[in-house]
Copies of this chain bind each other. A is one copy, B any other.
Amino acid sequence: MTIETDFTHDPDAKSWVESANGHPSFPVQNLPLCVFSPPSGGEPRGGIAIGDMILDLVDIADMLELDAATAAQLASGPKLNDLLQRGPDMMRALRHGVFELLTDDTDKKTIEPALHKADDCHLYVPVTIGDYTDFYTGIHHAENIGSLFRPDNPLLPNYKYVPIGYHGRSSSIRLSGKDVHRPSGQKKPAQDGAQPDFGPSERLDYEMEMGIWIGQGNGLGQPIPIHKAEEHIAGISILNDWSARDIQAWEYQPLGPFLAKNFHSTISPWIVTMDALAPFRTAQPARPDGDPAPLEYLMDDNDQQNGAFGVTMDVYISTAKMREDGDEPHQLSTGPMTSMYWTAAQLVAHHSVGGCNMQPGDLLGTGTLTSGEEGGEGSLIELTEGGKKPITLPNGETRTFLENGDEIIMTAYAEKAGYARIGIGECRAVITG
């Protein structure tokens, strides 16, 4: 099925859920998955966003047929791993079935009780995240960070060959909206050879990333070839990989970031599916002259032509004072997801090439995505040039790193002429002491 023949991409399609039509994030062309509990309470279960509402998949499973019904049943529990495991065909069946229910008003009266105001629902991390891997695909971020941590050697020789990544901490991933405690830890001493300082991080930062959800897994010792890798991806969310730069600078050699990252990561609630994103896939940007071609196991023509995501990401800050004064959040950056040096499929192929088994619900972070243009910096350490140049907010407050009470808000969306704009969601959290 191509984008042209899949009726769920029709920009003129309307839902009888009025708030969906023209909705900036959740028109009927999006239909992202979540886990929620309704305002009346009850166990967490799978849902789908439509306009300002969430459709309860448990309640409407009986109205679906064949694979769509099976998919809704697989999504009836508190985690969506079982649905993700069944792969793209099952995900597509659910999308098509729900699209029909929400565009054809024949059963409107029956379905309406299964719709809940999203603002009144409680949302949950939608899967059990077995393993979380954070990549480092933002080459402009890698260059910026590298020049701060290793001025003589910003981009290491392996960067353009290896999709650099490391294992992150899955236990501390929390949904958007959950406060972030400022971590304490050992911080790099002011001078070489001195004892490290210990205390609350003074260089607390955010990182604008996108999260990629694994759908179907692979067996241990059975690599996923690059041309099959997309079939193992279920969808995307927004990821804020909070980072304590002073802890990171001291601890990260030789085995990588640890406490600097594992105190908390924030994920947006919606799994925006690969089908919803299909119209917004785009060519992987050409590599700069002189860069090596990807090795064969990372090279697939179709992936090079369609493997990138035409998604725009925005970061905002809202300080405690701004909220008190009723000020709007202030935009810190905007940038395209195409700043990934590697495609999502390349990340999956690389991750599994040695035989590592991926499991449904595993999360891959893209790494901080910085556009390379001014205003496209994906972290404060880049915006403030390592904390040396504070930024000034519209109300006169300044920031080098995050202060208690600061809220970071990330949003992302895809839009393209001829298609309905879809939102990826919102990822926000307030720093507490």
Q: Which residues of B contact A136 (CB under 8 A)?
A: 255
A180: nearest residue on chain B (CB-CB)?
B221
A295 contacts the other chain (CB 8 A)? yes
Interchain CB contact (< 8 A) of A295 among B174, B186, B260, B355: B186
A170 contacts the other chain (CB 8 A)? yes
Residues in A137-162 with C-beta less than 8 Å from chain B: 146, 149-150, 156-158, 161-162
Residues in A239-290 with C-beta less than 8 Å from chain B: 244, 247, 250-260, 262-264
Which of A118-126, A189-197, A419-427 contacts the other chain?
Answer: A189-197
Contacts A130-B171, A158-B250 given; indicate if A263 touches B165 (C-beta within 8 A).
no
| Distance between Cα atoms of A244 and B136 in the complex (Å) | 21
A366 contacts the other chain (CB 8 A)? no
The proximity string for A residues 394-426 relative to B, scoring 1 for CB distances below 8 Å and 0 otherwise, is 000000000000000000000000000000000
- Identical subunits present: 2
A136: nearest residue on chain B (CB-CB)?
B255
A232 contacts the other chain (CB 8 A)? no
The proximity string for A residues 283-306 relative to B, scoring 1 for CB distances below 8 Å and 0 otherwise, is 000000000100111000000000
Q: Which residues of B contact A375 (CB under 8 A)?
A: none
A185 contacts the other chain (CB 8 A)? yes
A184 and B354 within 8 A (CB): yes
A259 and B185 within 8 A (CB): no
Contacts A259-B354, A355-B263 given; indicate if A156 touches B196 (C-beta within 8 A).
no
B166 and A186 within 8 A (CB): no
Interchain CB contact (< 8 A) of A171 among B196, B252, B262, B357: B357
A13 contacts the other chain (CB 8 A)? no
Q: Which residues of B contact A377 (CB under 8 A)?
A: none
Contacts A158-B196, A295-B196 given; indicate if A149 touches B356 (C-beta within 8 A).
no
A85 contacts the other chain (CB 8 A)? no
Interchain CB contact (< 8 A) of A256 among B172, B256, B351: B256
B131 and A247 within 8 A (CB): no
B256 and A292 within 8 A (CB): no
Residues in A100-125 with C-beta less than 8 Å from chain B: none
Q: Min CB distance, A21 to chain B, in Å?
A: 40
A244: nearest residue on chain B (CB-CB)?
B354
| Distance between Cα atoms of A110 and B166 in the complex (Å) | 52
Contacts A171-B130, A198-B295, A255-B136 given; indicate if A162 touches B250 (C-beta within 8 A).
yes
| Distance between Cα atoms of A356 and B167 in the complex (Å) | 15
| Distance between Cα atoms of A259 and B347 in the complex (Å) | 12
A130: nearest residue on chain B (CB-CB)?
B171
Interchain CB contact (< 8 A) of A253 among B158, B250, B258: B158
A353 and B254 within 8 A (CB): no
Q: Min CB distance, A404 to chain B, in Å?
A: 13
A192: nearest residue on chain B (CB-CB)?
B157
A259 and B356 within 8 A (CB): yes
Q: Which residues of B contact A130 (CB under 8 A)?
A: 130, 170-171
Interchain CB contact (< 8 A) of A181 among B174, B221, B250, B257: B221
A230 contacts the other chain (CB 8 A)? no
A38 contacts the other chain (CB 8 A)? no
A3 contacts the other chain (CB 8 A)? no
A259 and B167 within 8 A (CB): no
Q: Which residues of B contact A262 (CB under 8 A)?
A: 167, 354, 356
Contacts A195-B161, A198-B296, A297-B198 given; indicate if A171 touches B254 (C-beta within 8 A).
no
The proximity string for A residues 194-206 relative to B, scoring 1 for CB distances below 8 Å and 0 otherwise, is 0110100100000
| Distance between Cα atoms of A82 and B167 in the complex (Å) | 25
Sampled A-B contacts (20; CB under 8 Å): A130-B170, A133-B258, A158-B251, A162-B251, A164-B251, A165-B258, A166-B258, A167-B258, A172-B357, A184-B223, A184-B355, A198-B295, A198-B296, A221-B263, A221-B264, A244-B354, A252-B254, A259-B351, A263-B354, A263-B355
In order of increasing CB-CB distance, the 4 nearest A-B pairs are: A256-B256, A183-B354, A181-B221, A167-B167
